[in-house]
Amino acid sequence: MNGVVLFGLCSALTWGAGDFFGGVAAKRSSLFSVIIFSQIAGAALLTAMALLFAEPLPPFPVLLVGGGAGILGDIGLMSLYYALSRGKMGVAAPVSGVVAAMIPVLVGAVVEGLPGALQAAGFVLAVAGIWLVARSETSAMRLTDLGLPIIAGIGFGVFYIVIDQVSNIAVYWPLVAARLFSITLLVLVGLVLRQPLTPARGQLPVIAVSGMLDAGGNVFFALAALAGRLDIAGVLSSLYPATTVVMAGLFLKERLSRPQTVGVVATLAAIVLIVL
């Protein structure tokens, strides 16, 4: 298994698990407090990794690009976590994943040329699989259910592109900058809107796990983008909803319908096609 595939799948696993824990915490605490403290935990982990691997501090413009990515990530996370906390995880997460996957595919086709036939078929199957996973048990989703997940997907998809621009210069420090910009923006907006900025008692461990998993997903995506094509990294990383849905089924007893089960199988088949 080559690097872009391995890192892309690791990103999907860690991002999906982070979204699950973040969604659970957002059901019991204010959205702002969950994201702020998860970002703090992620920043601490990323800083430790940068120091551990002795990564040189990149030029300020690179850090500024990382900060811009952090703002995009804020938009994605706030939209997704709010949707996760208000509706079914098995609906919100996959829709955001479809949108997030399509953006780097389009950009990759323009910048890097069209992918091979098998990889292109894998992209199509992956998007179809994620969409099937998004099907509810009873009927098609209402249009009102799609707004926030679509916004989240756009935020994540553009985040992929921005981080890809600096991943060949540095991996950890731009992501640290992204977290610092994110935390600052969230605190300011939270104060203006008079939102609670501290989570409910007992939620800090769950939020910390969510933040560290999200940071890990960022690192794996940056490594995937560095190791291969942006579209492959983006599509594989965007399979994160499958992780969220499976964890929701295991821990929250959200049952998978037949179309959702077919969707999970389709995403696995898509991975095989992309690897070939």
Task: Write out pLDDT tens, residues 163-186.
Answer: 888 988 999 999 999 999 999 989
pLDDT confidence tier of residue 136, bands split at 50, 70 and 90: low
Query: In the predicted model, what is the mean pLDDT of residues 106-133?
Result: 83
Q: Is the pLDDT of residue 218 over 90?
A: yes
Q: Is 252 left (phi over 0), alpha (psi -120 to 50) or beta?
A: alpha
Reference 197, options 88, 84, 61, 37; nearest CA is 37
Matching residue, tokens 């560290």: 212
Give SS3 for 255.
Answer: coil
Q: Is the pLDDT of residue 93 over 80?
A: no
Query: The tokens of 25 are what?
Result: 């915490």
Domain boundaries, the chain: 3-275
Q: What is the mean pLDDT of the chain?
A: 85
Query: The tokens of 78 are what?
Result: 């706030």
- The span from the CA of 228 to the CA of 237, in Å, is 13
Query: In the predicted model, what is the mean pLDDT of residues 21-25?
Result: 88
CB 240 within 8 A of CB 99: no
Of the listed ranges 11-20, 108-117, 143-152, 191-200, the least confidently predicted one is 143-152
Res 139: pLDDT: 46
Reference 268, options 132, 149, 169; nearest CA is 132
Task: Write out pLDDT tens, residues 144-166.
Answer: 567 788 888 899 889 989 988 89
Query: In the predicted model, what is the mean pLDDT of residues 208-217?
Result: 95
Reference 128, options 164, 148, 101, 109; nearest CA is 101
Res 183: pLDDT: 94
Matching residue, tokens 């919100």: 92
